[in-house]
Structure formats: structure tokens, C-alpha cells
Copies of this chain bind each other. A is one copy, B any other.
Amino acid sequence: MRDFSKDHRWLSLNTATVRKQGDFVQIVDACARMGIRAVSPWRDQVATVGLERAVKAVRDAGLELSGYCRGGMFPSDAAHRQDMRDDNRRAVDEAKALNAPCVVLVVGGLPQYSRPGSAPSKDLGAAHRQVEDGIAEMLEYAKSVNMPLAIEPLHPAYAADRACVNTTKHALDLCDRLDPASSGMLGVALDVYHIWWDPEIHAQIKRTGKKRLLAFHVCDWMVPTKDILNDRGMMGDGAIDIPSLRRAVEAEGFEGYSEIEIFSHDWWSKPMDEVLRTCIERHRTVV
């Protein structure tokens, strides 16, 4: 396992972590100032400053990207399907402009939550099929511009509203079916928050292998978790044995960024520099 204790060369900041403290350009500036060398932007944060300014900010700061968040939200009713397709194409185009290594896919849950306004359904199996069809279609386009897609299995607590792919096994089954040749154009983004509880996670990380391991995210699981979406913990503050998971992905050859993605009302209420300093310290000590 790589030694992170001496520097933060392999720290990437998912910009949602400090979304309340500044706009995308301010976050990029802060990262550059702190020697953080990579970011993973969210589309709404890029949209707020404009794609062109975002591209320029990243380039001027000499940053790399570790991913682009996010495409997906595939389940929809027929009336919302074309919107969904167009939206996902734009995600790919933006990722390309920003020189991202992949688009992270949050695949969506039931259609009424995935694409609001869609007719409500409780048919989870149908949502699974729409996700598979949606990824297949998006992958065609992504391949044409050489932009890999990373399926992020989300914690089962999000099955209804954010993603109905909730295990690494399910995500890899989709990869096997949609990209059997393992072209490198379809893989997974593994976030310790979503996968740590899975009794099969070590076997599934082995199954993933280097080529499909497109991103690795860290934060922590708080006990108690006060808010199902926005009470994620700073690494070291929760229940997850993060090093055991990093060791497992690196044993498969992963040598990319350890991307910090924390949605937290607590951390959003602190000054940006304090959050970034804490991220750097925890990256060096408990990741």
C-alpha cells in the first residue's frame, strides 16, 4: 500500500465537500494554495461559474481531475426519456472539456425520484432494467469520444431515490454484460461510505481488477448518522476501517487518487481552509 503519511500527492478533493463555502473557482484556488493536486467537480458547481471559466480555472491551477460528478439518473417515464439522454450526453461533453478521467454514474432509483415529474412506480426490477438500458446507450456515446463511465454503487439507503445499484457485485454484473471485453470504457467508482458494510466487498474488489477500478472515494460512516444524505463523516471520525479498503484496491493495482467526498452539514458549516487542512491531515494519518 502506498505511504500517504509524508505528503498528500494522492489526495483529490470532490468539490461537493466544500460546496457551501465557495464557488468552483474559489475551491480550485484554495486547493492550489494548499497543494491539493486534483479535484472532482459536480456539474451544478461547474454550471454556476460556467464551463469555460471552470476549464480555465482548473488549467491555470495545474490541477488534474479524478472524476466528474455526475451522469445517470436513468429511470424515467417515456415523457422524460429524451431529457435524460440529452442531459447525460452533456455530462460526457463537459467531462471531456474538463479533461476528466471518467464520468461517475449515480444511476437513479425509482423514476419519480430519478427524473422528477415521471409517473410514480414501485417496480424496482423495472428500474434495474432501465438503468442497464440507459448505461448501454450512454456508453455508445461515451466510447465515441473516449470518455470512460464509472458506475458508483450507492449505499442501499439510496435505493429508492438516488441509485438502485447498491452493491459492487451488481455494478460489476452490469460491467460484465455491457462491456464484456473490459475495454476500459466502463468500470466502477468505489466509495467506502457505500461499500464498507458489504460482506462480499473484498471478493468483489478482487473481481473488479485494475482496469475497472476507475475511482476510489473516502469519507466515514458516523454513528449515529443524523441525516441519511448529509451527515457523512470526515475520515477517522466514524466506523469504517478505511485502510483495509484502500489496501484492497491497491492490491489490485489501483494507483489513482484517494478522492475525499463528504456531504455534511457539519463540515459545510466550517471555513473552507479548516476543512481542507483537516482533509490533508486525515489523508496522511487514517486513510
Which residues of A come within 8 Å of B, CB atoms? 109-110, 113, 122-124, 128, 155-157, 159-161, 164-167, 170, 196-199, 221, 223-225, 228-229, 238-241
Contact = CB atoms under 8 A, between A and B. Distances in A.
Contacts of A167: 199
Chain copies in complex: 2
Nearest to A240: B122
A161 B223 contact: yes
Contacts of A156: 155-157, 166, 197-198
Contact of A122 (B123, B155, B241): B241
B113 A223 contact: yes
B160 A223 contact: yes
Q: What secondary structure prevails in chain A residues at the interface with B? A: loop
B239 A160 contact: yes
A126 to B, nearest CB: 10
A171 to B, nearest CB: 10
Nearest to A197: B159
Given A223-B113, A228-B228, A124 B160 contact: no
B124 A241 contact: yes
A196 B166 CA distance: 12
B157 A170 contact: no
Contact of A166 (B164, B199, B223, B229): B199
B159 A123 contact: no
Contacts of A165: 199
